[in-house]
DNA sequence: CATGAATGAGCTTTCATTCAT
DNA sequence: GATGAATGAAAGCTCATTCAT
């Protein structure tokens, strides 16, 4: 329970949720991420949450509403680090080298990501099917992160630290590499043994220097 | 119709499908990839396919059966290129440089991938929720491809063309980069304008040399 | 608001209603008469009345209770004119001619009827389905009115003003004609243009002389 | 069963209904007319009809659909007599006197009306709440009947058989008198003892000559 | 008094599946 | 082989009502 309580706190810290609401959210996250949104029934959520089915609909008008209220705060969390002054340090040249910036970013976010993993899974799963979610994600999240990252990329490019390539391509390549690592690590093969620090380093190294042999 | 006919041919070439079966498959692929497996009803498929509801169940015992019969041949197709002698050319040192190999592979497969994209989408969506699918994928596909790719990687490593790093890490990084590109290109932002050849080159360049500035 | 306030006053003058109660009553009348008793939810009434759902049930034990408490006073109002000494004037031969009596009655009651129309609509709608209501209506209202009217009819018959026919038949014919007029006027075709005085006269003329051409 | 079978035949003679459909219709008519449309549940109808609940929705997309498919043919039946050549006899002066026409009409239709009474009850009950029904009724039925009746009225007025009064008023008065009789007889007080022929005559007499004493 | 969260039975509707034709 | 009517379980959701605050 403390695990989930933490997740709830991470996601809904500012909002005031009743106990029942928390239980519903936790149960919904668990079921959605295990079986998918469509394949999860509200009665199942109710049972798992230990509340009456009607209670769910008192708090969330529809099942989709419940999905949204789970996934929307996640998006806020996801842009969070890119908009708050955490990132200003980067812009303030705190991190001279891209490597250090990348490592700090990944390390800094790893814990949050792990905790929010089930919700992230839900988000990724449902984006293709929920147009509202998709739009929200593209316009509110992807665009904002992208803009921020582009600025940073341009900064490093000007410093001669990064290859000359349109920032959007650079961003795409870097972001998908990181996500590819995280998805492999935590979604696809969580059961394998991973040396997290080593793999993080390898991913960063890859992003910076590619796979070509340095002679 | 010719589009879908092609897809069907791609996937089920060896098997003999009646017209009705083809229509069912096409309708199912369309609906599954648009709304997801769970959110698609068999009656909807029947209507779209122009057959009676019962007809679906004559050919496919259950709805899941239908899913499997769509997605299983895809897997065969996906390993195909890695197991048939196409690849032996690589091993036969036909492609001296990794770049050429990567480019040839992507180009060679791009058309097939595009055509099979809806089915791939279905596969990716359902893998987390269908244990049978997951197992099938991991053991039959991922493992086989991985083994093959590892051999190739080792070959290039021995030639001094690739960095010294465990082949599994190399494979992960390369594959996620390519998939990241394809997913960005065809799933997430299909509506953006893409210079496909250029972006392919950039992806390959990235895989080979990373993002670090060459001095 | 003053419209509804008036209706409330008309119906519940003697009783003491809190503000909340009034709002509930008004909201209930509006919804019941618009969508029917069964098709109206208590939560809807609560929302329209601007009170909490629980508040309704503090004042009215059940939903049916609410219906009854709306419709019962209406019945009292409906017999009212026939039992109080208003009517004695008729018996006291104040109105020599039936026509005058009918006209006075209709005119006298028209305003009240219009104001209470929504409640009357509810009563008429629910009588077939609520046995208690039906019984209440038949025994308390219909019978009493009928008795009173019969006396009056007999009076006029003795005076030779009315045809010789069992009073119950006379009553039925007269009452349905008047109700038919009022229902046509206010329920079925309220949007048509009506010359109220003229149609009232025609209705009375019809009751008295029928449709046959006088030669 | 034969009673209901007859009703079904009366209403749906031209259409082809399966046995299950008939059972559903019969059960729905029974329940709707007893408890009202809103207060009747589809599960109740299913149980009474001896079919699965799903079966209802295979034939009728929604509950309202079921209502409509019951009530729409009734309307056709109701205009029927006024548009078919039954009525031409009247226009052909077959009935010299209005009385005879009225009597023939009532007698002629009484049986049908009695048989269709439950459906008529449903129609009357739901017209105020179902805008589609209301519109259908007003435009398709009321208007058509009214037009027909107006012609007939004018005919008799020209013959000097009827009072000079706008045909719409004449129609209203006559129709509400007849309906008032039928509703009193069959809906409000079906349990009283009625001498049907006598009351029919009285109603007609009333329509023709009113309640005023002939001297 | 008033509230509104909570309930669980019941609502309309959809579902995957069966089977007689 | 193909149909589509029939099923009944289960879906999402609403309901009247209760009760701790």
Residues 6+ apart with CB under 8 A from C105: C81
CB contact under 8 A, B174 and A211: yes
Task: State the pLDDT at residue B92.
Answer: 58
Task: State the pLDDT at residue A41.
Answer: 96
Mean pLDDT of D204-212: 81
Mean pLDDT of C62-86: 79
In angstroms, the separation between the Cα of residue A188 and the nearest Cα of chain B is 8
Q: Nearest chain B Cα to A164, which residue?
A: B213
Task: State the pLDDT at residue C5.
Answer: 72
CB atoms within 10 A of CB B165: 16
Mean pLDDT of D100-119: 81
User: Which residues of C fall within a CB distance of 8 Å from D180?
Assistant: 172-173, 175-177, 179-180
Task: State the pLDDT at residue A92.
Answer: 57
Mean pLDDT of A45-60: 94
pLDDT digits (tens, 9 = 90+) for C5-56: 777 777 777 667 888 888 999 999 999 999 999 999 999 999 999 999 999 9
Mean pLDDT of A128-137: 88
The CA distance from A41 to A28, in Å, is: 9
A5: closest CA among A24, A30, A22, A28? A22
Task: State the pLDDT at residue C210.
Answer: 74
Task: State the pLDDT at residue D2.
Answer: 62
Burial degree of B151 (CB within 10 A; 0-12, 13-18, 19+): middle
Mean pLDDT of A196-211: 88
Average pLDDT of the residues of chain A: 84
In angstroms, the separation between the Cα of residue B196 and the nearest Cα of chain A is 12
Enter the DSSP assignment of C39: T
pLDDT digits (tens, 9 = 90+) for C143-158: 888 887 888 888 888 8
In angstroms, the separation between the Cα of residue A18 and the nearest Cα of chain B is 31
Give DSSP secondary structure letters for chain B.
Answer: -HHHHHHHHHHHSSS---HHHHHHHHHHHHHHHHH-STT--HHHHHHHHTS-HHHHHHHSSSHHHHHHHHHHHHHHHHHHHHHSTHHHHHHTT-S-SHHHHHHHHHHHHHHHHHHHHHHHHHHHHHTTT-HHHHHIIIIIIIHHHHHHHHHHHHHHHHTT-B-SS-HHHHHHHHHHHHHHHHIIIIII-TTS---HHHHHHHHHHHHHH-SBPP-
Enter the DSSP assignment of A136: I
Task: State the pLDDT at residue D43.
Answer: 95
Task: State the pLDDT at residue B149.
Answer: 82
* Residue D121 predicted with pLDDT over 60: yes
The CA distance from B97 to B8, in Å, is: 35
Binned at pLDDT 50, 70 and 90, residue A88 comes out as low
* Segment among A77-86, C38-47, D27-36 with least mean pLDDT: A77-86
Q: Nearest chain D Cα to C118, which residue?
A: D128
Percent of chain D past pLDDT 70, that is, above it, reads 87
Average pLDDT, 10 consecutive residues per value, chain B (215 residues)? 71 78 93 94 95 94 94 81 55 70 78 83 91 85 82 85 87 90 84 90 88 57
The architecture (CATH level 2) of B3-59 comes to Orthogonal Bundle (1.10)
* Residue C84 predicted with pLDDT over 80: no
Å separating the CA of residue D18 from the C1' of nucleotide F6? 12
pLDDT digits (tens, 9 = 90+) for C172-197: 898 899 889 988 888 778 888 999 98
Mean pLDDT of D3-14: 72
Which nucleotide shows the minimum CA-to-C1' distance to residue A38? F11
Q: Nearest chain D Cα to C213, which residue?
A: D163
The CA distance from B56 to C54, in Å, is: 51
Span(s) in chain A for CATH 1.10.357.10: 71-211
The CATH number for A71-211, chosen from 3.40.120.10, 1.10.30.50, 3.30.70.20, 1.10.357.10, is 1.10.357.10
Binned at pLDDT 50, 70 and 90, residue D84 comes out as low
Binned at pLDDT 50, 70 and 90, residue A139 comes out as confident
Helix axes A2-12, A63-83, angle to 10 degrees: 70
């Amino acid at each position: 329970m403390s695990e989930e309580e933490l997740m709830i706190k991470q996601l809904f810290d500012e909002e005031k949720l009743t106990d029942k609401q928390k239980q519903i959210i936790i149960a919904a996250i668990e079921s959605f991420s295990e079986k998918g949104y469509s394949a999860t029934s509200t009665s199942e959520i109710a049972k798992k949450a230990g509340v009456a089915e009607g209670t769910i609909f008192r708090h969330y008008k529809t099942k989709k509403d419940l999905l949204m209220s789970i996934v929307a705060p996640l998006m806020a969390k996801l842009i969070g680090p890119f908009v708050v002054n955490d990132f200003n340090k980067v812009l303030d040249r705190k991190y001279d080298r891209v490597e250090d910036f990348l490592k700090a970013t990944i390390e800094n976010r790893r814990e949050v990501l792990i905790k929010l993993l089930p919700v992230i899974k839900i988000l990724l799963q449902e984006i293709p099917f929920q147009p509202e979610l998709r739009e929200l994600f593209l316009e509110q999240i992807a665009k904002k992160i992208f803009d921020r990252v582009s600025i940073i990329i341009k900064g490093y490019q000007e410093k001669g630290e990064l290859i000359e390539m349109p920032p959007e391509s650079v961003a795409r390549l870097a972001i998908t590499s990181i996500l590819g690592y995280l998805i492999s690590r935590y979604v696809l093969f969580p059961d394998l043994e991973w040396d997290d620090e080593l793999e993080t380093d390898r991913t960063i190294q890859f992003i910076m220097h590619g796979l070509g042999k340095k002679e």
